[in-house]
Amino acid sequence: MKKFLILLFACVVIIVTSACDRVKPSILFNNTPITAENIGNLTNVFSPGMRIYYLVIIPKPIQSRYAYIQIIKKEGANERLGYKMYYGNTVRLKDEQMYYYDDYIVIHEPGTYVMKIYSKDNPTKILTMAQFWVK
């Protein structure tokens, strides 16, 4: 009986902790244009005035082909007190960009930033978000 319970517990742990095949929406940051060769050298800490290259991965195509990009700066010493809208842009995804979008932005103010991606299909639901720092 004891071996059966241990085997049952092991099966439950394996099922709960196993990885999924599903690709989730995400944002990758780098200080050089993101390619297949440098995909392992990603960073999210940048210097002021430096180009911040980003790659947005969208596993499900957006039907309207419009994505909203929003960058919010966290204000305060503890990075938890307030938020300030820093950048907002609407981009049209081309036919070859149905599953990704890449570009760069230059930020001159040090701080903590959050990038959020929305779809025009449902502009109240965040597709993905990521945090980065300019120090």
Q: Which pLDDT tens digit goes with each residue over 78-112? A: 656 678 899 999 999 888 888 889 999 999 999 99
Residues in contact with 106: Cβ distance below 8 Å, sequence separation at least 6, in sequence order = 49, 50, 51, 52
Residues in contact with 35: Cβ distance below 8 Å, sequence separation at least 6, in sequence order = none
Q: What is the pTM of this model?
A: 0.78
pLDDT at 37: 87
Residue 20: pLDDT band (50, 70, 90) is low
Q: How far apart are CA 28 and CA 107, in angstroms?
A: 17
Q: What is the mean pLDDT of the chain?
A: 85
Asked if 44 contacts 29 with a C-beta cutoff of 8 angstroms, the reply is yes
- Domains (range + CATH), the chain: 22-134 (2.60.40.1930)
pLDDT surpassing 90 at residue 30:
yes
| 4: helix, strand or coil | helix
Q: What is the mean predicted confidence (pLDDT) over 43-51? A: 94
Residues in contact with 121: Cβ distance below 8 Å, sequence separation at least 6, in sequence order = 62, 63, 64
